[in-house]
Amino acid sequence: MASREASFIAMKQGKLRYQIKKSKTSYLMLAPFFVLFFFFTILPVFASILLSFTDFNMLEFPEFVGWTNYIRLLVNDDIFLIALKNTLIFAVVTGPVSYIMCLLFAWIINEFKGKLRAFLTLVFYAPSICGNAYMIWLIILSGDRYGYLNGLLLKYDFINEAILWMKTEKYVLPVLIVVQLWLSLGTGFLAFIAGLQTVDKSLYEAGAIDGVKNRWQELWFITLPAMKPQLMFGAVMQITQSFAIADISIQLAGNPSVNYAGATVVTHLLDYGTVRFEMGYASAIATILFILMVGTNKFVQKILRRVGE
């Protein structure tokens, strides 16, 4: 019995080795990416999971502390709850909205021809490639009466005195969401445009013969199913982005923001990692965020499989 199992494993291994040998060119081609991916993505993820069970303070050797970080994080950390709430609001609002916006704009722009289409694509894509373009919002949202938004509102008597947009709790999150939406026509949007152009034209003719009555039906029954891979890609990008929002919050609202109104999971993580020298705790936050992202991605993929059904 045992020997049979052993020989089975040996056969399997031999088979594996044989298979690797057989397709070694493919492995060789894969190697550069895999090496980078392993060292810069997989390894850090595991390192962070390991560190999350220690009290690593960045300067001294980490000590194992078991579940302490997680217990403190999930039971005792009120700010984490605020950050988590903000992140979920971000994800729920900006994720789908910007996803739909991407799709809609891609669909509309796809109706144009040639140079005009290229130009429009650039216009919509520009904010997200210009790195820190959102810095412009600092001027718009400046808190004295010389800020653009305050200036306008004062001029037309909507308000009596300047509002500190990024220092007043109730405005911080909505403003950040608006800025994030403005930024979010990114990679997903490009993928959609590319996807729309690869749809086989003959399908539309076939659809017309089979009784497609209007553009909406065309979109739902032909265009979208034909570009499922791009939809999937866009969704993954969009979700990852909205969970990882931190930069705009830090730049516009500061870190820590006033009463943590603009705190997201990632800013909370950065707070612990850099200001408080608690890398172990920050790693625990990162691990939770990682699980959250993977979970949501799985969920969204399930939904997307139903497109066109």
Partner 1 sequence: MFQEKLWLMGKSRLKTYESTWRKDVLSNQENEPYRFYLEKGVHTIRMEVVLGEFSEIISEVEESVQELNSIYRSVIRITGVSPDQYRDYQIERSLPELSTEIMEVHDKLDETIKDLQNLIGENSDKESVLITMRDQLEELADDPERFAEVIGAYKINVRATANWITQVIDQPLQLDTIYIYSPEEKIEIENQGFFARIIYELIRLFYSFIIDYNQIGNASEEKGESITLWIGTGRDQANIIKSLIDTSFTKDTGINVNVQLVDMNTLLRATLANEGPDVAIQVPNTNGIAGAVLLTSNDSSVNYGIRNAVIDLTNFSDYEEVAQRFEESALLQQQFNGATYGLPETQTFPMLFYRKDILAELDLAVPKTWDEIKVTMTVLAKNQMEFGMLPNEQTFAMMLYQYGGEYYNSEGSKSELDSDNAINAFKEYCIFYTDYKLDKETSVEERFRTGECPIIISDYTLYNNLQVSAPDIDGLWGIAPVPGMLNEDGTIDRSVGSTGLSSLIMSSTEEPDACWVFLKWWTSSETQVDFGYEMESLLGEAGRIPTANKEAFEAIPWRVDDMNALLEQYKWVKGIPQVPGGYYSWRNVNNAFYTVTTDTDIASPREELVDKVTLINTELSYKWEEFELISLEK
Question: Which residues of this protein are in contact with partner 1, per CB under 8 A?
Answer: 55, 57-60, 142-146, 154-155, 161-162, 164, 167-169, 255-256, 258-260, 274-277
Give 64's strand partners. 54
Angle, helix 78-110 to helix 187-198, in steps of 10 degrees: 30
Q: Smallest distance from the beta carbon of 304 to partner 1, in angstroms?
A: 40
Bond before 174 cis per omega within 30 degrees: no
Q: Smallest distance from the beta carbon of 272 to partner 1, in angstroms?
A: 11
Nearer Cβ to partner 1 (146/299): 146
Nearer Cβ to partner 1 (102/250): 250
Q: Smallest distance from the beta carbon of 50 to partner 1, in angstroms?
A: 16
Cα 184 to Cα 126: distance, rounded to the nearest angstrom: 10
Spatial CA neighbour of 171 closest among 79, 262, 80: 262
User: Which two three-digit tokens encode residue 19?
Assistant: 């298979």
Nearer Cβ to partner 1 (63/205): 63
308: alpha, beta or left, given left = phi > 0 and alpha = psi -120 to 50?
left
Give SS3 for 61. coil
Chain-centroid distance of CA 210 in Å reads: 39
Cα 49 to Cα 283: distance, rounded to the nearest angstrom: 7
Nearer Cβ to partner 1 (60/210): 60
Nearer Cβ to partner 1 (2/59): 59
What is the DSSP-derived secondary structure letter of residue 122?
H
Q: Smallest distance from the beta carbon of 152 to partner 1, in angstroms?
A: 12
Nearer Cβ to partner 1 (225/256): 256
Handedness of CA 53, 55, 60, 63 (dihedral sign): negative
What is the DSSP-derived secondary structure letter of residue 258?
G
Q: Smallest distance from the beta carbon of 291 to partner 1, in angstroms?
A: 25
Nearer Cβ to partner 1 (59/209): 59
Q: 10 Å Cβ neighbour count for 89?
A: 16
Cα 306 to Cα 309: distance, rounded to the nearest angstrom: 6
Give SS3 for 184. coil
